Amino acid sequence: MKTKLTKISTVVLSLAMLTLYSCNNADHNDNADAAEVRSDMNHEADEANHDVNHAANEAHNDMEHAADNAQANANEAQEDWRRERDEYRAEINRKIEKNQHDIDEAKAKAKEKKADVRKDYDKKVNNLEEKNNKLRARMNEEKADTKEGWQKFKDEFNHDMDELGHAISDVFKDNKK
């Protein structure tokens, strides 16, 4: 677009210079011819001016269109990020509820244990429940406002959820012994 405007500007300047030259070199007795040349040059300058304005309007419209597209893309990316976050939260809440179900099951099995073993077992199960509740609270309190912040939160949270899942599995393995 810039090249097109430059070419049009060059044409306009050339026409203006040619008009001045023609007018200065015209024979004074040749006023009719000079007037016709001036008229033709004015007409050509008007057309060039029109072309410049048209090109400028096209450039402006192209820029507005590009800005609208960029905003639409940004809005879509933001919506994708929100949807991903909502889906992740729903998945994590299901896992936390499953963890709680497993912990409740482990508590019920604790009643079958001998008193000397039960105390240590109850302590492990209560510790798991506390960790599960802390993870639930962390998920509910999460307020990452950037995609990068959200990704960092997710990475750390997934690590902690995996550790808790392994610890719950270990309690059930110990229970079978």
Q: Based on the number of CB atoms within 10 Å of its own CB, is 69 exposed (0-12), middle (13-18) or buried (19 or more)?
A: exposed
Residues 172 and 86 occupy one common structural domain: yes
Residues 150 and 98 occupy one common structural domain: yes
Average pLDDT for 153-177: 87
Residues 66 and 118 occupy one common structural domain: no
Q: Residue 124 pLDDT > 80, yes or no?
A: yes
Instruction: Give the structural domain span for 46.
Output: 2-71
44 vs 34: CA distance, rounded Å: 15
Q: Residue 68 pLDDT > 90, yes or no?
A: no
In this predicted structure, what is the pLDDT of residue 29? 47
CA 45 to chain centre: 47
Q: Which of 19, 1, 98 is nearest to 55 (CA)?
A: 1
Residues 92 and 145 occupy one common structural domain: yes
Residues 121 and 56 occupy one common structural domain: no
In this predicted structure, what is the pLDDT of residue 161? 96
In this predicted structure, what is the pLDDT of residue 19? 60
In this predicted structure, what is the pLDDT of residue 147? 83
81 vs 102: CA distance, rounded Å: 31
Q: What is the mean pLDDT of the chain?
A: 80
Q: Tokens at residue 72, please?
A: 């639409």
Q: Greatest CA span in the chain, whole angstroms?
A: 129
Residues 66 and 95 occupy one common structural domain: no
Q: Residue 101 pLDDT > 90, yes or no?
A: yes
Q: For the chain, give the percent of residues with pLDDT over 90.
A: 32
- Over residues 26-61, the pLDDT tens digits come to 445 456 666 676 677 677 767 776 777 777 777 777
13 vs 5: CA distance, rounded Å: 12
Residues 104 and 147 occupy one common structural domain: yes
